[in-house]
Structures are given as structure tokens and as C-alpha cells.
Copies of this chain bind each other. A is one copy, B any other.
């Protein structure tokens, strides 16, 4: 029996173990993991979000080792994380990301990418151009989630937009919106993280006690804390929009009266299309390598998870090369 290494998350504990190699169903590719990225969602899963138990991981770049389509063989790929039914109304509308029957790689009823070999439907895969390194490609999934904002609303060029949070997602969002010629103000608590955005041309602000009130028509909440949304609601102007990006475990309480009186729109925003993300990386419009704080071999995933949860740490990647 062929065994391989996989990361396991059980009852909030992360460990590695040997599991059987997955069988490749028809229409699926078998993919050898090259690099995986630990996302805040993985850390939230560890805190009990979704009551998750299994193999985590949804940010990855890998090499196709078996596939129906021969032109995929040997290619480096990234993969969309929603496995949709491809039959329902959502799938027909090209919104398999909302298919009610979907499973989600490493999040909902589908074993994740943090294992030596994984399977995904070939339709989920995107070939990575040679000019994009493995360490860059691992950012395609969170970058796609960032670009989703641009698919959800028409934000005018030059618009003032506040991004709350200088974590991984906040830094990506600030960079992408700046690349799209918006006037971004990034608010964060970590001078070293803000520096990364500043180097990319983003105007940054150390978030002190008092953030500006009713100051922006557009606010992106990526603080990753229960208070982030309340802050965003205070910062947005009447009739403005707040994009909600932080999936956190729990049910934060909200000043709904302010939302109503000021007629604010709160817009949930999740996964996005991979194409714009690959285009941004290919065009070198944004820099992601600065955001890698540390790197571990797959076998040291428990240490990597621990490291990723430390204060001040950005992206931690797992190498399975």
C-alpha cells in the first residue's frame, strides 16, 4: 500500500501522519504539492470554525502527475477551492463558488492541499506561467479573493478607500486597489507590516485609538478581529460601502442603528476568479514575496502552524518540493 505524508487537524491539534495515496477519479487530476500557504482561515479552523476535522490547506501550487487531459501532465497548477456540482443554477451562471452542493478544498468536506499528493477536478485548475515562481503562485488564491471586491462593485478610479488590517489579506487588498489606481489608506497596528505596503506605494497609517469617523465612501474590513467590522462601520460615510473580508469564528455584535441611519451597505466578500490574480502576478503589478515570513518542510507543519499564529508573522509556507 503506497503511503504519503499528510497534515491532520483534529480537535484543534495539528499533526502529520502517513495516509494512503488518493485515487484519481475521472475528470480529476492527481497533483504533487510543491508549496502550500497557511491562511488565517486555517488558523480559524484550528480555533473551531466550521467544526473542522481532517486535512487542511487550500492555498497551494503543485505539479500535475496524472490527468485525463494530457496537456496538464507535468504542468505547474493552482486550483480553485470550490468543488461544484456543475449542474445547478449557480453553476450554470458561472458561480460554482456558491453551488449549494459544493465541497471546499481543506475547508468543507474535501481533504485539503497539505499532503504530498492531492486531487482536484481538472476544471478547477489553472496553469501557472513560467514567469511566476512557486512562492508567488501560492498567493493566487488569496489574491483572487482580493480581486473579488472589484467584481462586486464599481469603485471609481481615484476613489478614496480605507483598508483596515495589515495582515496578509489587508496587505494584498491595499496593493491590488493601489495597482487599480485607487487612493488607498491602509490602517494597521504593525509598523513592519505597514512598511511592506508602503514600499508598494500604499499610503499607510498606524492605527491608534481614534480612527477617522465617517471619512471614506469605501472601507474594506480585513482586520481579522471581532472589532474590525464595528470600526469599519464607524469609518464609512453615509451611503458608503463596507466590504467584509475577515471570516472569524464567532458572532460579533453590531451597531445596526448606525448602519440603518447612515444607510451603509455591508457587503460580504469571499472567493474570487483566479484569472485576474494570475494576471496581476504576471504583470508584476504587486509584490508578494515580501510577505513570506517563514518556510517549513511539510513534515514540520505543526511548527509552521504555530509560527503562523505568532504576532507579527505574515505568510508561512509549507515546502513539499
Chain A: residues with CB nearer than 8 A to chain B? 49, 90, 95, 98, 100, 148, 152, 214, 229, 238-239, 244-249, 251-270
Contact = CB atoms under 8 A, between A and B. Distances in A.
Contacts of A265: 265-268
Given A95-B239, A251-B254, A269 B260 contact: yes
Contacts of A255: 251
Contacts of A263: 98, 148, 152, 267-270
Given A214-B100, A253-B254, A254-B251, A244 B259 contact: yes
Contacts of A90: 238
Report the copy number of this chain in the oligomer: 2
Contact of A98 (B229, B248, B260, B262): B262
A261 B247 contact: yes
B268 A262 contact: yes
A260 B239 contact: no
Nearest to A249: B257
Residue of A95, A260, A264 with most chain B CB atoms under a 10 A cut-off: A260
Nearest to A107: B261
A168 to B, nearest CB: 16
22 contacts: A90-B238, A95-B239, A98-B262, A100-B214, A148-B263, A244-B256, A245-B260, A247-B261, A248-B257, A251-B253, A251-B256, A252-B253, A252-B254, A252-B256, A253-B254, A260-B270, A261-B268, A263-B268, A263-B269, A265-B265, A265-B266, A265-B268
Given A251-B256, A259-B268, 6 more contacts: A95-B239, A98-B262, A247-B261, A248-B257, A252-B253, A264-B267
A62 to B, nearest CB: 25
A57 B98 CA distance: 45
Contacts of A249: 257
A229 B256 CA distance: 9
A152 B248 CA distance: 29
Contacts of A49: 257
Contacts of A253: 251-254
